[in-house]
């Protein structure tokens, strides 16, 4: 990023100064606090009952969401945009951004829900930072509940969008991962918000994970999502017009000006996980090109993968592949297969 990118760049490059920065009061009464490098909280004088976290750069080379957050931060700081909600921007991995890589030592999106301290413990920057991020999320959501006379009849709503861009192409350019809900129903309003963002394709995760979005679901009952917003480009080379619908919807959310029509089940396309194919042998291969797009569908009987002697033919009409990676360690997931299901079959409230 260049120096022209403003306040966010400044907080990323000036870790110590950022942490020591005194709160600033904007002309519209909103307070701006910098809790740490890339951790910025806006508190309006009379916040509504929705607390919003927008996070990006859990993977440091996923540039477009950082540019999007930077733009929103600048608009809020300059008063062009006035937030109705408490809102926290969380730029997850400044160390990886500063070297232009996905991560420095470890994939941060496998380190949440305490995984940062498991195994070898807090042995690297990603693990230390993940632990801190968990504490910032807790502080942000808990301060909202404590300080603002939380009404049990009408509890505060917690929203968290963790924004990513993908390494590979995707049949569906933008899609959301709806984390495991611990058996609780899915929310119609959340599907409407995703649709309004231009993210009408939703993959339901079928179990607990160590991702950032599941952490917010599991520990804070937040409506939290991992958003995949398109393919990675270097800073300054992202076609930001492709993110216009996301930005417009986020601005509507921040200013509390969104209105929706009646939900139509045809508005969204829902996928559920069929199976996870793990690599158990050194002699392992995927039977399609490395750059195949996410959500590519293969014909019935087609051998998707070979693990030693074992083959994995397509079992169900419509079985599609996501996140293929033949080069994972033994015992790890090399491929997930998914299938579209009718929206009506969801447990929706």
For Zn ion, which is the closer residue by CB, 86 or 127?
A: 127
CA distance 43 to 62: 27
**71, 228, 251, 319: which is the annotated catalytic residue?**
228
DSSP structural state of residue 81:
S
Instruction: Tell me, by CB under 5 A, how many residues bind Zn ion.
Output: 3
**Region binding Zn ion by CB under 5 A among candidate stretches 26-34, 53-61, 237-245, 333-341:** 53-61
The least distance separating Zn ion from the CB of residue 170, rounded to whole angstroms, comes to 13
Structure token pair of residue 272:
């559920």
Sorted by sequence, the CB contacts under 8 Å of residue 125 that are 6+ apart come out as: 95, 104, 105
- Look up 297 and say whether it is catalytic: no
For Zn ion, which is the closer residue by CB, 197 or 314?
A: 197
The least distance separating Zn ion from the CB of residue 162, rounded to whole angstroms, comes to 9
**Region binding Zn ion by CB under 5 A among candidate stretches 56-64, 131-139, 193-201, 253-261:** 56-64
**Region binding Zn ion by CB under 5 A among candidate stretches 3-11, 61-69, 147-155, 182-190:** 61-69
Question: Should residue 164 be labelled a site residue for Zn ion when binding is judged by CB under 5 A?
Answer: yes
The least distance separating Zn ion from the CB of residue 94, rounded to whole angstroms, comes to 15
CA distance 239 to 237: 6
Question: Should residue 129 be labelled a site residue for Zn ion when binding is judged by CB under 5 A?
Answer: no
Q: Which residue is nearest to Zn ion (CB)?
A: 164
The least distance separating Zn ion from the CB of residue 229, rounded to whole angstroms, comes to 10
Q: What are the distances in angstroms from CA 112 to CA 109, 209, 215, 324?
A: 7, 8, 6, 22
For Zn ion, which is the closer residue by CB, 51 or 62?
A: 62
Among 41, 59, 81, 202, binds Zn ion (CB under 5 A): 59
Write b or e for each residue in 125-153: b if 16 or more Cβ atoms lie within 10 A of its Cβ, otherwise e: bbbebbeebbebbeebbeebeeebeeeee
CA distance 217 to 224: 6
Residues that bind Zn ion (CB under 5 A): 59, 62, 164
Which of the residues are catalytic?
A: 228
């Amino acid at each position: 990023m260049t120096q022209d990118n403003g306040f966010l760049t400044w907080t990323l490059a000036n870790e110590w100064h950022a942490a020591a920065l005194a709160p600033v009061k904007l002309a519209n009464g909103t307070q701006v606090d910098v809790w740490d490098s890339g951790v910025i909280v806006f508190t309006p004088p009379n916040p509504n009952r929705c607390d919003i976290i927008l996070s990006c750069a859990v993977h440091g080379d996923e540039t477009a969401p950082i540019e999007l957050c930077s733009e929103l931060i600048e608009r809020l700081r300059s008063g062009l945009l006035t937030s109705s909600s408490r809102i926290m921007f969380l730029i997850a991995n400044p160390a990886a951004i500063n070297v232009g890589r996905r991560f420095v030592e470890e994939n941060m999106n496998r380190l949440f829900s305490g995984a940062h301290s498991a195994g070898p413990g807090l042995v690297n920057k990603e693990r230390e930072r993940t632990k801190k991020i968990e504490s910032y999320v807790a502080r942000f959501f808990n301060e909202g509940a404590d300080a603002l006379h939380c009404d049990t009849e009408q509890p505060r709503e917690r929203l968290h969008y963790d924004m990513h861009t993908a390494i590979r192409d995707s049949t569906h350019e933008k899609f959301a991962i709806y984390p495991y809900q611990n058996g609780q129903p899915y929310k119609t309003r959340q599907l409407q918000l995703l649709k309004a963002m231009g993210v009408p394709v939703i993959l339901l995760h079928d179990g607990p994970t160590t991702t950032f979005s599941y952490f917010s679901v599991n520990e804070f009952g937040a409506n939290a999502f991992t958003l995949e917003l398109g393919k990675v480009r270097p800073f300054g080379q992202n076609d930001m017009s492709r993110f216009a619908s996301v930005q417009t919807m986020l601005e509507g959310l921040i200013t509390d000006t969104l209105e929706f029509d009646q939900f139509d089940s045809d508005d969204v396309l829902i996928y559920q996980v069929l199976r996870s194919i793990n690599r158990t042998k050194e002699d392992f291969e995927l039977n399609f090109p490395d750059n195949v797009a996410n959500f590519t569908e293969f014909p019935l009987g087609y051998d998707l993968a070979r693990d030693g002697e074992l083959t994995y033919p397509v079992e169900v009409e419509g079985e599609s592949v996501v996140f293929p990676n033949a080069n994972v360690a033994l015992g790890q997931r090399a491929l997930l297969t998914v299938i579209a299901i009718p929206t009506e079959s969801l447990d929706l409230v």
